């Protein structure tokens, strides 16, 4: 029963702060964030302002694209009469493998204090605007300071980052026609492994407790074509948390025709265009100017999915042991062959041909498969390339290599048994390691989807 504003119109469609098209001015600033880190930013404001205006700190989404990534957005808000601070996210303590949303909340509040000190800012209309991952940070900041008078979120995620990311990968893979084992490998063993290995910072962060503590008016917006933030479920969980905390100042808006960041899209929401709608910022400026006194929350209790932990056979130590055995067996065979030649030993050992195929195919697959899966995860399944029979071209090649490895392992084992009397003791050790690696490869390849359809 939340006040739901669909589309660009609604009760706050006309801004009262300023008319579109006014000149804007930019001022470079620096301020001290959490734990003393110096942050660099820019205040974008209506030029030659003689009155105090609403203001907000803009919080970026995931990654660190720099303040320029939000510059067009900030200028659009400034043309609507809102003073905006955007800043470069910290690099000390924030990276692909390290982040702390509480620390980022401290940075946001430091930016808020910087805005509050300006003569053209109205402290009674000072708040936070947060996109995507920034919406994990904004409610934490809002609960820590009375200086935050409102919170606006765009593409907020209402579930743990791990749950949202897993869902997002599935959306992008499905859109590109990828199905079967690659989708499974990314969303199950690969995903579970990076979490277990501590390579997904804040994977289990629960945003609900922070939202329950937010008392300020909240405008939560999602694009109609948002395939990143689980908008339906996120909307329900955030509304539920606000309602259970007693916040009745909540406006939820679903904006048609735009993607995750409320930007325009030329590919149904699956691209990353930076182009803005012509009326971008108009609704938000009017909402700030006339912040609602009351709205009602939702009584719906959403069913939030979870990411299953690694099964025992997928534990990181067991996988690491198996991978090490593959490297020793597959790489050891050609390396010992090189040593033999260096020492001047001649003569081709029995079972040479299938063993060479096994070593080459097995080593190539063992190295390329995790590298490709890591690349797909690092690019959030955005770089797909050609898709053939539901498989990306690299994954199809890895499939063929995996099948070739299994075939070469079987052939090597059969040939060795047939010619076991001709194999010297030292050669038995080489072949034993190689065949053991080949046999170990089979369950590992099944687990990682390389031998699944």
What token pair was written down for 408? Answer: 């070469």
Residues 276 and 394 in one domain: no
- Beta-sheet strands, E only, within 132-261: 150-154, 218-223, 250-255
- Beta-sheet strands, E only, within 323-396: 387-388, 391-392
Tell me what pLDDT residue 294 has: 40
Residues 22 and 67 in one domain: yes
Residues 230 and 164 sit within 8 Å (Cβ to Cβ): yes
Query: Is 452 domain-assigned?
Result: no
Residues 139 and 213 sit within 8 Å (Cβ to Cβ): yes
Q: Which of 222, 256, 289 is at the close of a domain?
A: 289
Query: Is 360 domain-assigned?
Result: yes
Query: Is 453 domain-assigned?
Result: no
Residues 361 and 268 in one domain: no
Residues 281 and 76 sit within 8 Å (Cβ to Cβ): yes
DSSP string, 45-63: EETT--S-EEEEEEE--SS
Residues 244 and 316 in one domain: no
Q: Tokens 């992008």 appear where?
A: 172
- Please, what is the angle between helix 352-378 and helix 393-418, to 10°? 150
Cα separations in angstroms, 181 against 174, 353, 388, 390, 451? 12, 31, 13, 9, 8
Query: Is 351 domain-assigned?
Result: yes
Residues 281 and 324 in one domain: no
Tell me what pLDDT residue 41 has: 97
Q: Which of 257, 289, 321 is at the close of a domain?
A: 289
Residues 338 and 424 in one domain: yes
Residues 229 and 353 in one domain: no
What token pair was written down for 109? Answer: 């509040």
Those residues whose C-beta lies under 8 Å from the C-beta of residue 237, and which sit 6 or more positions away, are 158, 159, 207, 208, 302, 304
Residues 78 and 216 in one domain: yes
Query: Is 407 domain-assigned?
Result: yes
According to DSSP, residue 147 is labeled: T
Residues 166 and 204 sit within 8 Å (Cβ to Cβ): no
Tell me what pLDDT residue 431 has: 86
Query: Is 192 domain-assigned?
Result: no
Query: Is 378 domain-assigned?
Result: yes
Query: Is 50 domain-assigned?
Result: yes
Residues 439 and 335 in one domain: yes
Nearest to 178, CA basis, from 390, 26, 343: 390
- Give 115: exposed, middle or buried? Use CB within 10 Å, 0-12, 13-18, 19+: buried
Tell me what pLDDT residue 411 has: 92
Q: What is the pTM of this model?
A: 0.85
* Helix spans in 419-451 (H): 425-447
Residues 87 and 233 in one domain: yes
According to DSSP, residue 348 is labeled: P
List per-residue pLDDT tens for the chain, 453 residues long. 334 444 333 333 333 334 455 789 999 999 999 889 999 999 999 987 678 999 999 999 998 889 999 999 999 999 999 999 999 999 998 988 899 999 999 999 999 999 999 999 999 999 999 999 999 999 999 999 999 999 999 999 999 999 999 999 999 999 999 989 999 999 999 999 999 988 999 999 999 999 999 999 999 999 999 999 999 999 999 999 999 999 999 999 999 999 999 999 999 999 988 899 999 999 999 999 987 654 444 444 566 677 778 888 889 899 999 999 999 999 988 887 666 665 655 555 666 788 889 999 999 999 999 999 999 998 888 888 899 988 999 999 999 999 999 999 999 988 888 877 776 776 788 888 999 999 999 999 999 999 998
Tell me what pLDDT residue 287 has: 96
Instruction: Give the separation between CA 224 and CA 233, rounded to whole angstroms.
Output: 14
Domain span at residue 264 reads 3-160+205-289
Report the domain count for the chain.
2
Q: Tokens 């030993």 appear where?
A: 345
Tell me what pLDDT residue 9 has: 37
- Give 433: exposed, middle or buried? Use CB within 10 Å, 0-12, 13-18, 19+: middle
Tell me what pLDDT residue 432 has: 86
Residues 267 and 361 in one domain: no
Q: Tell me, what CATH number does 247's domain have?
A: 3.40.50.1820
Tell me what pLDDT residue 296 has: 40
Residues 243 and 370 in one domain: no
Tell me what pLDDT residue 44 has: 97
What token pair was written down for 121? Answer: 């800012």
């Amino acid at each position: 029963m939340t006040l739901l504003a669909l589309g660009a119109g609604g009760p706050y469609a006309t801004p009262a702060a300023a008319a579109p098209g006014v000149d804007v001015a930019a001022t470079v600033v620096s301020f001290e964030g959490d734990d003393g880190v110096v942050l660099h930013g820019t205040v974008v404001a209506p030029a030659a302002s003689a009155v105090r205006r609403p203001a907000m700190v803009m919080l970026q989404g995931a990654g660190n694209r720099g303040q320029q990534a939000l510059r067009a957005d900030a200028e659009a808000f400034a043309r609507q009469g809102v003073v905006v601070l955007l800043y470069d996210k910290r690099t000390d303590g924030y990276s692909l493998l390290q982040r702390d949303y509480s620390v980022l909340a401290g940075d946001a509040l430091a930016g808020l204090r910087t805005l509050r000190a300006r003569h053209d800012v109205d402290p009674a209309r000072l708040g936070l605007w947060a996109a995507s991952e920034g919406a994990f940070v904004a409610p934490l900041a809002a609960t820590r300071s009375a200086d935050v008078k409102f919170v606006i979120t765009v593409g907020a995620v209402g579930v743990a980052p791990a749950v949202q990311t897993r869902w997002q990968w599935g959306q992008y893979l499905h859109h590109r026609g990828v199905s079967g084992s690659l989708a499974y490998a990314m969303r199950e063993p690969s995903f579970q492994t990076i979490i277990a290995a501590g390579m997904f910072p804040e994977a289990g962060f629960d945003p609900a407790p922070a939202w329950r503590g937010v008392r300020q008016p909240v405008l939560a917006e999602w694009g109609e074509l948002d395939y990143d933030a689980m908008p339906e479920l996120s909307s329900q969980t955030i509304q539920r948390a606000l309602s259970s905390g007693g916040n009745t100042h909540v406006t939820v808006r679903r904006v048609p025709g735009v993607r995750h960041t409320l930007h325009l899209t030329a590919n149904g929401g699956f691209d990353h265009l930076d182009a803005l709608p012509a009326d971008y910022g108009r609704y938000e400026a009017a909402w700030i100017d006339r912040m609602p006194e009351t709205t009602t929350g939702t009584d719906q209790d959403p069913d939030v999915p979870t990411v299953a932990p690694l099964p025992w056979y997928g534990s990181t130590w067991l996988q690491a042991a198996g991978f090490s055995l593959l490297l020793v067996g597959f790489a050891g065979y050609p390396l010992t062959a090189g040593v033999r030649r260096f020492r001047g030993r001649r003569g081709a050992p029995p079972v040479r041909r299938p063993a060479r195929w096994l070593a080459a195919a097995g080593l190539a697959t063992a190295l390329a498969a995790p590298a490709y899966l890591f690349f797909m995860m690092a690019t959030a399944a955005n770089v797909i390339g050609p898709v053939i029979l539901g498989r990306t071209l690299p994954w199809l090649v890895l499939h063929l290599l995996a099948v070739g490895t299994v075939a070469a392992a079987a052939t090597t084992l059969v040939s060795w048994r047939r010619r076991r009397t001709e194999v010297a003791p030292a050669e038995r050790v080489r072949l034993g390691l190689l065949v053991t690696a080949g046999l170990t490869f089979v369950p590992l390849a099944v687990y990682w989807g390389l031998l699944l359809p």
